[in-house]
């Protein structure tokens, strides 16, 4: 049994080295680390210095590519039975690979990709950084998906990063038909469409470093919305899971009621979302309550909606950006 870590970086490469440390500290060492660097600075020597005393092969390619293309290039270079994805912000527990490989090799589960629900960490402790990490941590802002529940173990329609059977991953690949569609749920949807199963285990521990700029969080949600629309267009499935159906029907029902009252009543839609978010912060968030999080989170939800609509409006444009790296 062998496995590889594969991933990409851009001009956020300074975050990569802490991620690399967690990869090098695995209880079961990887056969190889594959990195596609699409940024401006060549960091091959720094990485080589870190793994100098390790029996790990480094496959490093410095080439300007969109992230989806970079991921597929990395996949092509993998020579291991299993491939584990990383990015610059991800951090892995020492037994991450060991636990992931144990789950994916479980014949009773019969899965081709597995993962865990990440914890959210922040480098800075200022007000905005805490708000940003809070937004990424609150499951209610995403309408309670299973793949954001840290206590969940079971089959899933989305997995963060993931541990893949390499042979299947090379067959499915990340879709390059559209730009800005490398969200985790799309690759998992493609696995499910081809009859392969995806599984989340609460025993697989990892985390990621949250962005500390609220503007970048807004951009991220905008990209999420854009990605979701692209996923629907490519998969031709309006609802990838029942949760999407229930959320869509609920919002549609509220929209129809407000329209029936008057067009001016639509102004109450953001107020209803704020009420929903504050209610969940107050009664369902089990840690320290912060009422700024649901308010800022509502702005992020509207950024998601704008991203979704923007994708639909620009679907026929030919000059769409070729990269979805977000600082």
Q: What is the pLDDT of residue 326?
A: 45
Q: How far apart are CA 115 and CA 96, in angstroms?
A: 9
What pLDDT is recorded for position 155? 92
If pLDDT is split at 50, 70 and 90, which confidence band does 320 have? very low
Q: What percent of the chain has pLDDT over 70?
A: 83
Most confident of 135-144, 218-227, 256-265: 135-144
Mean pLDDT over 214-227 rounds to: 88
pLDDT given at position 238: 59
Q: Which residues contact 69 (CB under 8 A, 6 or more apart)?
A: 176
pLDDT of residue 176 exceeding 80: no
Query: Which domains occur in the chain, in start order?
Result: 3-214 (3.90.550.10)
* pLDDT averaged over every residue in the chain: 85
Asked if residue 92 lies in contact with residue 190, where contact means CB atoms within 8 angstroms, the answer is: no
What is the rounded distance in angstroms from the CA atom of residue 185 to the CA atom of residue 38? 23
Q: For residue 321, what pLDDT is reported? A: 47
pLDDT digits (tens, 9 = 90+) for 38-88: 888 898 999 998 888 888 999 999 998 888 889 999 999 999 999 999 999
Angstrom CA distances, 112 to 95, 105, 156, 168, 203, stand at 19, 9, 12, 7, 17
Tell me how far apart the alpha carbons of residues 285 and 297 are, in angstroms, rounded to a whole number. 14
């Amino acid at each position: 049994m062998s496995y590889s870590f594969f991933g990409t970086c851009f001009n956020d490469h300074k975050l990569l080295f802490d991620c690399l440390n967690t990869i090098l500290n695995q209880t079961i060492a990887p056969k190889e680390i594959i990195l596609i660097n699409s940024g401006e600075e060549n960091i091959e020597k720094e990485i080589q210095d870190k793994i100098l005393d390790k029996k790990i092969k480094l496959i490093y390619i410095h080439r300007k590519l969109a992230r989806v293309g970079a991921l597929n290039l990395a996949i092509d270079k993998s020579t291991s039975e299993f491939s584990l994805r990383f990015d610059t912000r991800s951090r892995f527990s020492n037994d991450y690979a060991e636990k992931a490989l144990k789950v994916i090799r479980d014949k009773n589960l019969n899965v081709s990709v597995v993962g865990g629900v990440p914890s959210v960490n922040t480098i800075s402790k200022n007000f905005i950084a805490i708000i940003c990490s809070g937004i990424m941590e609150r499951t209610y802002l995403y309408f309670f998906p299973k793949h954001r529940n840290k206590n969940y173990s079971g089959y899933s329609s989305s997995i963060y990063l993931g541990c893949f059977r390499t042979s299947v991953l090379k067959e499915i690949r990340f879709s390059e038909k559209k730009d800005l569609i490398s969200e985790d749920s799309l690759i998992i949807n493609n696995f499910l469409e081809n009859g392969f199963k995806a599984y989340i285990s609460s025993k697989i521990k990892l985390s990621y470093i949250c962005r500390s700029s609220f503007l970048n969080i807004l951009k991220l949600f905008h990209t999420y919305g854009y990605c979701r629309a692209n996923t629907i267009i490519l998969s031709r499935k309006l609802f990838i899971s029942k949760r999407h159906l229930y959320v869509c029907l609920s919002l549609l029902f509220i929209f129809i009621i407000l329209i029936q009252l008057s067009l001016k009543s639509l102004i109450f839609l953001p107020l209803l979302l704020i009420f929903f978010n504050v209610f969940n912060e107050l009664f369902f968030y089990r840690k320290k309550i912060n009422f700024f999080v649901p308010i800022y989170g509502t702005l992020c939800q509207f950024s998601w909606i704008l991203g979704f609509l923007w994708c639909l409006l620009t679907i026929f444009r030919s000059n769409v950006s070729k990269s979805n790296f977000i600082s």
